[in-house]
Structure 1
Amino acid sequence: MSDLERIFSALVTPTRADDSIDLDALGEVVEEQLARGVEGFYCCGSSGEALLLSLDERQQVVERVTRQVAGRVPVVAHVGTASTAQTVALARAAQESGVAAISMIPPYYYAFTPDEIERYYLEVVEAVDVPVLLYNIPQFTRVAFDKSNASTLLTHPRVVGMKHTDHNLYSLERLVQAFPDKVFVNGFDEQYLSALAVGARATIGTTVNIQPELFARVRDRFAAGDLAGARRTQSQINEVVETLVAHGVFQSAKYLACARGDVTGNCRRPFRPLDDDDRAALDALRGRIATFVAEDAA
């Protein structure tokens, strides 16, 4: 499980103006982020527009990233869909690609019962031989995992932990205490330091795509007991998050992470495209991030 106790980029999916995926640009993004210290990749999550991609496209992304990484860092594939059969198919394909783990949101749209959700997970878990991270993101799925309703899943030996994208840190702390042998992963960049304080051992974040150095500093300063320094760096992360929220989180992160001229910062519709004002603000933010990285390093 130490392979999962890292700073993971919730990787964006580069696309061209016609919305087709640019796999070569994806490889370049991976290399650029590795050079900046990213310690792992989480493919086809929210930042990667998973639910706007076809199943075939999702498999292509995972295959390209694992091939590009070539074992240098762990790759986690998000395989969640609304269909058990489709999720099993993606999970098996991800295992064949050589991922370190898979992750999945609960089935969505229909008001599935807790028993149906549990059976969905167990069927997928039993269909593969690879570690599994549950994905708790209740603001999107309307399903909130906590100590009471996730216990059966977290006792399964192949379920190694949970990605917790929820502002409820009390629930996270209770899970950490109940399952100390599992890896709990922060999913909200703006609360990374707070999540570390209640026992999170990793993070998977959208803005890790564009400021991985700052996440490493928060972790290192927290571990060294330098809480003032850790808070200062977390505040820098949050200034970036605040700007991205104002211009569209996923579009903005994609624009800043993809430098090639033929790759747009736009996400697939119905996300709105960036306009000139958005791009000007994000170009200025790019310089601000560089300043944070340089100043904090000094």
Structure 2
Amino acid sequence: MDGIYVASMVLFDDEGKINKEESKKLLDRNLAEGAAGFFVAGSSGECFLMDRQERVQLYEQVSEYKEKADLFAHVGALSTEEAIFYAKEAKQMGYEKIAATPPFYFGYTTKQLAHYYYDIAEAVDMPVFYYNIPINTFKQIQINDPETIKLFQSGAIAGIKHTNLDLYEMERIKNINPDIKIYGGFENEMVGFLAMGCDGFIGSTFNFMLPHYKKIYDLFLEGKVDEARKLQVKANNIMQALNNVGLFSGIKHMLNVQGINAGNMRRPFLPLTEEEKQYLEDVVKNNLE
């Protein structure tokens, strides 16, 4: 298996600008904790709340780690032209993995969605990772659709970031093309996804609790499934609390607690209340070893 990748948060200073110094502290810490690499400018990176210059700045910032870590650049956009722009920028900086959400808002056909990925792959002369996150894009992969099957068999798709709880869908995609890499994106089902043959994990909570998930991952690989499952329950207690207060705002708060100045999420996200902060801190304290 390929390892654990951090879906990196974007950290802001008090003026709302990207905080490079604090970001470096977090990236260095995650590497020391055993991260295989980073997924840059995805949902955790507030991709669709960033302007073009800021998104390129994120790529540049993390590209400094290309000799130390395996890097994904998320380039998904509402238009093919915009996605290709980001993909070319990232490749020029040395990224060897390009990922993209499907374009949303308009009711694109499966053929139109497939050509979005064909166009990106052709523009940068490398296959693309399909960022499957239907909870946000409202675009379900149509695994029985001829255009989708053709896409997954074409070589234009290197893999899937499967931020979806559907284990069956993951297995069916592997059945369409066993060479496609699939990385689980919902760490609250890590044990189950590993058991079904995913190739690794990309998670947002790894930003502040990577050592806990590394234990789950390593225990599973050692065949100690019962021990891994017990730690999964504790991780899921924390995930439930994060979802109760707001996932990304909660992660940033826990980073702040740990001494990483993460700043706040951009509007329309709202900061946590004092009651929410205390509730989250208590759950984390009671479940992290």
TM-score scaled by length of structure 2? 0.93
For 1:232, give the aligned amino acid. K
Distance 1:159 1:180 in 2: 12
Deviation, structure 1 residue 156: 2.9
1:92 maps to 2:88? yes
**Counterpart among 39, 43, 46 of residue 42 in structure 1:** 39
Residue correspondences, number: 286
Q: Tell me: CA distance 1:218–1:260, structure 2 relative to 1, closer, same or farther (3 Å).
A: closer
Q: CA deviation digits over 1:66-117, x for unaligned, max 9?
A: 11x2411111011001011110000000101111201000011111111111
Instruction: Verify the 8 A CA contact 2:255 2:261 in the aligned structure 1.
Output: no
Q: Which residue of 1 aligns with 2:244?
A: 246
Identify which range, 204-213 or 142-151, moves more after superposition.
142-151
Q: Which residue of 2 aligns with 1:117?
A: 113
For 1:205, give the aligned amino acid. G
CA-based RMSD of the aligned residues comes to: 1.8
Distance 2:94 2:126 in 1: 9
Unpaired segments ≥5 residues, structure 1: 293-298
Deviation, structure 1 residue 42: 0.4
Instruction: Verify the 8 A CA contact 1:84 1:120 in the aligned structure 2.
Output: yes
Deviation, structure 1 residue 262: 5.5
1:9 maps to 2:6? yes
1:135 maps to 2:120? no
Q: Which residue of 1 aligns with 2:275?
A: 277
Unpaired segments ≥5 residues, structure 2: none
Distance 2:216 2:46 in 1: 27
For 1:242, give the aligned amino acid. Q
Q: CA deviation digits over 1:129-154, x for unaligned, max 9?
A: 34421111112112111433432222
Report the secondary structure of 1:14's partner residue: coil
Instruction: Verify the 8 A CA contact 2:47 2:55 in the aligned structure 1.
Output: yes
Instruction: Verify the 8 A CA contact 2:132 2:163 in the aligned structure 1.
Output: yes
1:25 maps to 2:22? yes
* Identity across the alignment (%): 30
Distance 2:215 2:262 in 1: 30
Q: CA deviation digits over 1:154-194, x for unaligned, max 9?
A: 22334211111111111111112332222111011111111
Distance 1:172 1:237 in 2: 22
**Counterpart among 188, 197, 200 of residue 198 in structure 2:** 200
Report the secondary structure of 2:56's partner residue: helix
Report the secondary structure of 1:160's partner residue: strand
Report the secondary structure of 2:271's partner residue: coil
What pairs with 1:97-246 in structure 2 (closer than 5 Å)?
Answer: 97-149=93-145, 150-246=148-244
Q: Which residue of 2 aligns with 1:54?
A: 51
Instruction: Verify the 8 A CA contact 1:17 1:263 in the aligned structure 2.
Output: no
